[in-house]
Amino acid sequence: MLDSVAATLAYISSVKIHPAFPFLISPTLHAARVSMAYQANARQSSTPLSWPTYIAGYLVMSWGGGFLSHLMLGLPPPMLYSFGPWINYLTVHLVVTLFFSFFPSLLHPPTINTALFPLDALVRTNAVVGGISLLYPSSPTFNLVNPLYIKSPLTHLIIGALSSSGGATVAGTLGTWTAQWGMSTPPLFRAGMGIWGNMDVWGGSVVAAVYGIAMNHPAFKNVLPTFLSLPIISHIAKSLYPLYYDVYTFESLSFNPVEAKALVAVVFTVFFGLRVYNIHWSKKLENVDKKNNGRKAAGAAAIRRVDGEKL
């Protein structure tokens, strides 16, 4: 399974849309998905948005995570020195806006999120791995990052969370899909969000940790052996794998970058699938079950009444 996931990730990360639009598939898909989410939120605004607000708010939601990640590490964000992201994201946003202006009924978040959650997982994987890769020697700017950041697991978790949720968090805090921007409580801390409403945040951190452990990054070198050395975990592991369990073998555990990225994508796919179910469908299915149970109870009561009349 990892091979097919890795092949898909490699494809969207290396193939360009078209010679006339020479941008990679992955950021283009990201631009389109953010545009859909932004438009769905903007529709709820009581006051129509001006075009400058509509464009700027979308860009904040698209780039907030990458911008904050680079600034935290003391690196220049790409959107401040390259025209490429501007052309790519603005073009996609305008095209997607035009599409849904002709077919507004198609912009239905539950349906779109359900249909596209595997794709969302792949795109988000590229975003998170792209962010935390700044802490790996393969990054061209690796030597510019403070070694304290590179060696700290906490930094990896923060960068993972920012890369995954930074844009939505900043946009939600500022209300960039409304006509009047202003500071408010970040979505992470709002009542009612729940564990799945905040999946973008903790999911990014979990994925960063999984990637770091799989890549045997120095920041996570002792995490897995220490975890498996805990008495309870050690007992369970030895019970399940008595012939193969050896905590010290995990010190040499290491995936190559392609395998680690595919593993992260699988984890993210599970998270996105569970979020879609819990946010969009679980309550509806519960209501359907309640209605069905109510009908069954009413039917059973009617049968009992008929049987009583016969007696």
| pLDDT bucket at 290, cuts 50 / 70 / 90 | low
Give rounded-to-5 percent helix, strand, coil for the chain: 75, 0, 20
pLDDT at 266: 95
| pLDDT bucket at 227, cuts 50 / 70 / 90 | confident
| Mean pLDDT across the chain | 88
pLDDT above 70 (res 3): yes
Determine the Cα–Cα distance for residues 127 and 163; give it in Å rounded to an integer.
Answer: 6
pLDDT at 9: 95
User: pTM of the prediction?
Assistant: 0.86
Determine the Cα–Cα distance for residues 99 and 266; give it in Å rounded to an integer.
Answer: 31
pLDDT above 80 (res 248): no
Helix crossing, 153-174 with 199-214: angle to 10°?
A: 160
Q: What's the whole-number mean pLDDT along residues 268-284?
A: 91
Q: What percent of the chain clears pLDDT 90, i.e. is strictly above it?
A: 75
Determine the Cα–Cα distance for residues 309 and 306; give it in Å rounded to an integer.
Answer: 5
Distance of CA 265 to the CA centre of its chain: 10
pLDDT at 307: 53
pLDDT at 13: 94
30-63 burial string, b = 16+ CB within 10 Å, else e? bbbbbbbbbbbbbeebeeebeeebbbebbbbbbb
Residue 50 in contact with residue 150, Cβ under 8 Å? no
Q: Where are the domains of the chain?
A: 2-215+254-310
- Residue 257: CB atoms within 10 A of its CB come to 15
pLDDT above 80 (res 198): yes
Q: Choose the most confident range, by mean pLDDT, from 122-126, 226-230, 298-302.
A: 122-126
pLDDT at 305: 52
| pLDDT: which is higher, 31 or 230 | 31
Residue 137 in contact with residue 143, Cβ under 8 Å? no
pLDDT at 231: 79
Q: What are phi and psi of 253, to 5 degrees?
A: -65, 125
Report pLDDT digits (tens) over 101-131. 999 999 999 999 999 999 999 999 999 999 9
pLDDT above 80 (res 302): no
pLDDT at 249: 52
